Amino acid sequence: MGVKFRDAVMIIVIMSASMFSVSMANKDWFPAFNYTDWWSRFGNHHQNKTQQQPSQILVGGSEHWHFGYNYNDWAIKSAPFYLNDTLVFKYDAPNATSFPHSVYMFKSYGSFLKCDIKKAKMLASPVQGGGEGFKFVLHKWQPHYFACGERNGFHCNNGTMKFAVMPMFRPFWQRP
């Protein structure tokens, strides 16, 4: 019973954050329909050369991928994410002074909540985050659940080294 309630609350929080991020991204959007501008916006027009291209997004920004930073907050503040955007995970290779990190992707929301590393797929090992970092392209329109799987999921279980994104369709044209 408790897990189902927690799942429902988490879904509501994620949906609310998504709707909030979309509304903030479109803060100059205006709900009234302007009939005089219909043809220029929806008619047969040439492809806009300034159409947005996929972005490379550094996970955690300048903080990179490390223990102790809240990536759920980062994902909410960095939204929206679009199809074909690239997430770049940068982290230090294992050494005597730092913990090793990796990147796992969970297939389901339930395994993501429980940090069940056995049901996750390793995308990047502890040595793949150096240099240019590990790159993951958001090719599918579905939720993506990421976490650090090191120390048998401890970094994920403490709740900060995991996040979820739901890529959206990129707008066909930019609003003037």
**Domain coordinates in residue numbering, the chain:** 51-175
Higher pLDDT pick, 38 / 143: 143
* Nearest partner of 90 among 146, 122, 54, 135, judged by Cα: 135
* pLDDT tens digits along 106-141: 999 999 999 999 999 999 999 998 889 999 999 999
Residue 85 has pLDDT above 90, yes or no: yes
| Residues 137, 87: Cα–Cα separation, whole Å | 6
* Burial of 61 (C-beta count, 10 Å sphere; 0-12/13-18/19+): exposed
pLDDT band at 104 (very low <50, low <70, confident <90, very high): very high
Distance CA 127, CA 115 (A): 21
In angstroms, the CA 87 to CA 59 distance is 6
Q: Is the dihedral of CA 25, 20, 148, 91 positive or negative?
A: positive
Work out the average pLDDT over 155-171: 89
Share the mean pLDDT of the chain.
80
Tokens of 58: 């550094």
For the purposes of burial, counting CB atoms within 10 Å of the CB of 154, is it exposed (0-12), middle (13-18) or buried (19 or more)? middle
Q: Which pLDDT score, from 0 to 100, does residue 7 have?
A: 75
pLDDT band at residue 40 using 50, 70 and 90 as cut-offs: very low
CATH of region 51-175, choose from 2.30.40.10, 3.90.75.20, 2.60.40.420, 3.60.10.10: 2.60.40.420
Share of the chain above pLDDT 90, in %: 47
pLDDT tens for residues 58-67?
999 999 998 8
pTM, two decimal places: 0.68
Predicted pLDDT of residue 151: 84
